[in-house]
Amino acid sequence: MARTRLKTVYRHPLPVRIGHWVNALCLLILLLSGLQIFNAHPHLYWGSASDFESPWLSIDYHWSRDDGYSGWTRVYDWQADTTGVLGASPGADGELEGRAFPAWLTIPGSRWLAMGRSWHFFFAWILVINASLFLIWALFAGHLKRLVPTVEDWRGFGQSVIDHLRLRHPTGEAATRYNILQKLAYLTVIFGLGGLIVLTGLCMSPRMDTVLEPVLEFFGGRQSARSIHFLAASGFVLFVAIHLFEVIVSGPVNQLRSMITGYFRYHDHATGVASNRENRHDG
Ligand code: HEM
């Protein structure tokens, strides 16, 4: 049987680790404060501000003296009773109250639009500053090159999809590099979703909206920009869910430690004896 040795490689430089954790914090707070903002008017539309007739998404409630609150969610013509989670959920006293997203999913927990907006705008700027610094560093340090798929990567695309579906992950030295699906996911999130959410957010922001009027028009009006912002936020939630799932199935302790200390451990399939030597991985 082939012998393996445990190797430690320096995988994540300091700017990547700082950028990653600041991003994670910003995304969490922006999502929860964004849902507070959404709750103030829980309907989304396409078009400009005056087109309020037909929302494509509504999360609302009915109230009657006999039955109390019941929540419902409608997407175009599809509607479901979502009492308990969406539309109507328990308030601080444990009784059902009418609110689109529940208290445990909003910042702050109570109904407080002004405070939600303050949190949202503050962390939006932290996110923009963090992302800009990271991109400048990545460009000059050559880090972005690690994310660009190579011809070799594209050749292995089909196999990588099959491996991911079977929950088989790269081992050995290959585990220290980004695979094609990771590269495509990160590029889509940074330049696609990230770009969309920042641009739509900025062109809806107080004072910025007048400067960015042409961008608002490009998105099809304020209500369209709001819808795209919400959909991009949902895309982030999906990405984070898949990201966390992949971390869990591919060795959570090792992955988490490497994003804190920078050092990643893997089994080298080449024959040899156990080694504590640390290697610098330059990707
Ligand atoms: C630079 C980044 C961002 C900026 C400038 C920004 C700005 C805004 C603005 C101006 C609004 C509407 C506020 C209002 O109508 O009072 C909003 C709403 C919202 N944002 Fe952001 N945002 C940013 C990033 C994010 C991120 C990263 C997420 C989630 C991951 C997010 C989630 C939401 C949600 C769910 C809403 C509620 C949609 C609505 O009802 O209008 N935002 N944001």
Does the structure show a pLDDT above 60 at 251?
yes
According to the model, what pLDDT value does residue 273 have? 37
Ranges 53-57, 107-111, 189-193, 264-268: which has the least confidence: 264-268
d(CA 22, CA 1): 44
According to the model, what pLDDT value does residue 176 have? 76
Residue 259 CA to ligand 1 center (angstroms) comes to 27
Interval 76-97: pLDDT, tens: 999 999 999 999 999 988 999 9
Mean of pLDDT over the chain: 90
Residues 180-197 have a mean pLDDT of 94
Does the structure show a pLDDT above 60 at 261?
yes
d(CA 269, CA 3): 7
Residue 140 CA to ligand 1 center (angstroms) comes to 30
Helix ranges restricted to H, the chain: 14-40, 113-141, 151-155, 157-165, 180-187, 194-204, 208-211, 213-218, 222-249, 252-261
Coil, strand or helix at 78: strand
According to the model, what pLDDT value does residue 266 have? 86
Does the structure show a pLDDT above 60 at 274?
no
* Between residues 39 and 166, the one the model is more confident about: 39
According to the model, what pLDDT value does residue 272 have? 40
Element of type H or E holding 56? none
Please give the number of the atom of ligand 1 that sits closest to the Cα of 40.
Answer: 40
Residues 106-110 have a mean pLDDT of 96
Residue 45 CA to ligand 1 center (angstroms) comes to 15
Residues with Cβ within 8 Å of 1's Cβ and at least 6 positions away in sequence, in order, are: none
Does the structure show a pLDDT above 50 at 236?
yes
d(CA 41, CA 188): 29
- Ligand 1 pocket test, candidate residues 36, 112, 120, most atoms within 8 A of CB: 120
Integer CA distances (angstroms), 194 to 79, 127, 149, 234, in order = 30, 10, 19, 12
Residue with the smallest CA separation from ligand 1 atom 34 is 34
Does the structure show a pLDDT above 90 at 187?
yes
- Count the Cβ atoms, other than its own, within 10 Å of residue 228: 19
Q: Which CATH architecture has domain 5-42+104-280?
A: Up-down Bundle (1.20)
Listed by start position, the domains of the chain span 5-42+104-280, 47-99
According to the model, what pLDDT value does residue 167 have? 86
pTM: 0.90
